[in-house]
Amino acid sequence: MLETLQSATVESSVGPLFLAVSVRGLVALEFDQRLPGQQTIRPNPRDLRVEPNGIRFSESEEAVQPFVRELHEYFQGKRRDFSFPLDLRGTEFQVACWRALLAIPYGETRTYADIARSVGRPQGFRAVGMANNRNPIAIVVPCHRVIASDGTLCGYGGGLDIKRKLLELEGALSGMFAA
């Protein structure tokens, strides 16, 4: 069965963001600029009809507006938590990791090892890193709050500059190295 997701690309203080929404909630929030090889839910620009994963996209700024409003409040420093529903799609392990990310408080960070322990896989920090890499809902599912065990910033789909900006916005870099 073919599913239609409402989608739009919107401007933000960290650049253009692509949003896709189902009847259950936000399915994807992706940076316009992606790293090579990074996964995307977006349709192939050469063939906007139907993607092989059974999803059709329908451009709708109106459908994404409630999500965009809360994102703008977040970027203005007026919102710490998002109230809209999420439609998390992934393996059981990925969804467990993403839920662990959602539990990281605004303004705080955790290591990959912390997340691995929280999902019951204490030696699975690399697997957690891969789940973070596959996180389809950037910013809202805050994989930017995950840092290396030595306290350094590493691995972010939007790039380390955006990761640093998001952590600075949340005040999570105070007390850490700020470089």
Confirm whether 143 is a catalytic residue: yes
Which residue among 143, 162, 166, 173 is the active-site one?
A: 143
Strand ranges, E, within 122-162: 146-147
Burial class from Cβ neighbours inside 10 Å (0-12, 13-18, 19+) for residue 91 reads exposed
Burial class from Cβ neighbours inside 10 Å (0-12, 13-18, 19+) for residue 24 reads exposed
Alpha-carbon dihedral angle through residues 91, 3, 72, 146, given to the nearest 10 degrees? 10
With H, G, I as helix, E, B as strand and everything else as coil, classify residue 170: coil
Q: Which residues are catalytic?
A: 143
